[in-house]
Amino acid sequence: MKSLGKTLKDSREIMSLTLRQVEEATGISNAYLSQLENDKIKKPSANVLYKLASLYQVELDSLLYAAGIIESASPQKSQLLNTAALSAEKLNSEEEQALLEYLKFLRFSGKR
C-alpha cells in the first residue's frame, strides 16, 4: 500500500497542480501540504482529506484509509481510471501504477 504522502503527491501531479495552486483552491497552506506529501504529518483531519479528495478527484475513503483513519477503503479505483474505455477493475495494482506514472510523464513532457 502506498503511503498517504505518496498518494497525495501522485494525485496532485496527475492533476498537474503545484502546491501553491492547491493552497489557493483549498485554503490549506503549501507548507502543510508539503509536510503531508513527505509523510511528516501522518494523520491530517478528515476535513483536510475531504478538500484534497474533492480537488484531486479521488475517493475520500482511499485517503482516509491511507491515513489510518478508517480500517478499510472502498474497493473502487480512482475516478481517473474509471472510464468506459478503460475498466479499472481489470487492472492489477502494478498496471494501475504504470498508467499513473505514464500519465504524469505525458503531462510533464507537454509543459517543456
| Domain with 63 in it | 4-109
Arithmetic mean of pLDDT over the chain: 81
Of all residues in the chain, what percent carry a pLDDT higher than 90? 41
pLDDT in tens, 23-67: 999 999 999 999 999 999 988 998 999 999 999 988 888 898 888
Give me the helices (H) in the chain, please.
4-14, 19-26, 30-37, 46-56, 60-66, 93-109
Q: How many domains does the chain have?
A: 1
Contact 10, 99 (CB under 8 A): no
Q: What is the pLDDT of residue 35?
A: 97
CATH code, domain with 20: 1.10.260.40
pLDDT the model gives residue 90: 64
